[in-house]
Chain A
Amino acid sequence: MPSPTSRLRWLRAKLYSVRNGTGAAILPPNISRIALSFNYKSNNGHMGPRKFFRECLPRLKYHNPEVDMTVLRKDALEGPATLTIHFTDTPLPADSKSGKKKQAAPIVRETSSTIDIDMLNRYPDDIMAELVEKTSATLYSEPPRPKELEEEAEYLAVKRENELKEKYKLQRADRRKNKDDKLKDAILA
């Protein structure tokens, strides 16, 4: 196992990026499922869907853990790339968050209507914008950091900068000295 500190630094960045960015949106409660369907290969406009799946879908899933998200990928080189949104009438069970007496059969939320989004030849931002517009989702943005943390971060940044400055100064002096020595040697020889 790597040391906890190195693991943590890497993890913190990862988690921040899964909470924020394009795709971080909270869907309304009447959406039960989001289904993607596109190809494995990125030929013929299937690159955008793949990017959407890799970048935006984890964020969407993080902010909507109750929503099912299925991905179907085909071996074909051509064909449609669609995103299907399933709406339901059955509301979520009220005590799903307390999670104490939920051992019984899982509730199947039947779809009452669906909306398709064509993902062919489009960028992930573009797809996401249409998704937000069609579902009237609310975009999520992280609350700003508290003042003390901000100050500390600033202080650390300045400190690091100064350290680097010192280091570079020494390096420069070293290089100059080497150059001078070489010149001297060349002249003497």
Chain B
Amino acid sequence: MASSISICRACLTRPSTTLMGSTPRLLRPTSDIQRLLLPTTSTVQSLILTSAFSTTPALPAGGGAVNRAKMKSSKLKQTKKKKAKTHFKIWNHAELPKYALTEAMRYIRAFEVGNDLRQAKYDLAVKIYTVKNGPAVKNRIQLPKAVNTDIRICVFADGKKAEAAREAGAVVVGTKDVWEQIKEGVINFDRVICASDVFQEFQKTGLGRVLGPRGLMPSPRTGTVVTNPAAIISAMIGASEYRERQGVVRIAIGQLGFTPDELRDNIKVFMDQLAKDLARIEDFDKRINEVVLGSTHSPSFSLSGEFENIGREEDFDITPEAVEGAEATEATPVAAVA
């Protein structure tokens, strides 16, 4: 998992701090004795005393200033030699509070109050542990509930297919009456799909002059002449693209009016596909580090992977068990990667 790195860092820092904290306490009772003994005894003993608590070599008396200067210069050299970072920076966020989906949504809805429920979008950012100059993730996804539903689709079909198309979400459906409308100049849609059985009839109308310049002309080559228009409509409405930029994948995951269940399904499907995308890039190690949910006008919330919080009011009262358990449930796609 991604947090394995961060945990290691924590482990490395912890023992040193505890040691440093304990040294003065241990030294205090012996300090008087030490002071008495120091002038008479050799420096060897003092060396032992200090080296017991710190790994740095004890400095001989008198040469402190010189040594410090040397150390400074050596440090400067070290910083100059430092290599440029190959990976995008990731942080250890294991101990920081995280939010269940419903909790985050409640806050977001509060911050977004008074805004249009269709315009404002939930926005998911996935932080990835990745090299800077490697291949980036880029793909297109079909979410269970589409985010961009503004696209207005026109379908040339009749009979059962027309009904099915209308159910699937087409705005304008029909054959001859629609063509006449188009001839008059009424075009209130962005995409056109034609059923294959009506296509010959459609070609005779000579609407290419009207539709062609607008890029709306259906043709089998672009895949807009099909036997079953209803199946394509949902794909046309719902598809959304995402790509990795600066080690983060961002995507609009839902409209503000979505229910928690709908949003959860969207997030689940997206995370599954993202995990597959990451796994497909073989030579490079890519792992998911953090998942953050925000929206157009609200702050962002680091997600814990739970759906609902039970019996927790305060955001700082989170128990580590809850977080770990949640990560395990959400991390199923992640585990497959790592």
A177 beta carbon closer than 8 Å to chain B: no
The answer to whether B114 and A69 have CB atoms under 8 Å apart is yes
The answer to whether A1 and B127 have CB atoms under 8 Å apart is yes
A1-41 vs B: 1/0 string, CB under 8 Å?
10111011011101100100000000000000000100000
The residues of B that contact A15 with a CB separation of less than 8 Å are 107, 315
A65 beta carbon closer than 8 Å to chain B: yes
The answer to whether B111 and A4 have CB atoms under 8 Å apart is no
The answer to whether B113 and A57 have CB atoms under 8 Å apart is yes
The answer to whether A62 and B114 have CB atoms under 8 Å apart is no
A86 beta carbon closer than 8 Å to chain B: no
What CA separation (Å) do A103 and B264 show in the bound complex? 13
Partner pick for B125 among A1, A11, A12, A71, CB 8 A cutoff: A1
Partner pick for A70 among B93, B107, B114, B301, CB 8 A cutoff: B114
The answer to whether A14 and B299 have CB atoms under 8 Å apart is yes
B248 beta carbon closer than 8 Å to chain A: yes
What CA separation (Å) do A4 and B313 show in the bound complex? 22
Tell me the dominant secondary structure on chain A's binding face.
helix
Partner pick for A18 among B110, B127, B261, CB 8 A cutoff: B110
- Given A1-B292, A102-B259, the answer on whether A61 and B113 have CB atoms closer than 8 Å is yes
What CA separation (Å) do A64 and B87 show in the bound complex? 44
B53 beta carbon closer than 8 Å to chain A: no
What CA separation (Å) do A8 and B113 show in the bound complex? 22
How big is chain B's contact interface, by range? 20 to 34
- Given A1-B292, A3-B91, the answer on whether A59 and B302 have CB atoms closer than 8 Å is no
Shortest B123–chain A CB gap in Å is: 13
The answer to whether A1 and B248 have CB atoms under 8 Å apart is yes
A91 beta carbon closer than 8 Å to chain B: no
CB nearest neighbor in B for A10: B299
What CA separation (Å) do A99 and B259 show in the bound complex? 9
The answer to whether A65 and B261 have CB atoms under 8 Å apart is no
Q: A3-B91, A4-B96, A57-B113 are in contact. List 15 more A-B contacts (CB 8 A).
A: A1-B127, A4-B91, A11-B299, A11-B300, A11-B301, A18-B107, A36-B114, A58-B113, A61-B109, A61-B113, A62-B107, A65-B106, A69-B113, A99-B261, A102-B261
9 A–B contacts from the bound complex (CB under 8 Å): A1-B248, A4-B96, A11-B301, A12-B315, A12-B316, A14-B299, A18-B110, A65-B106, A71-B113
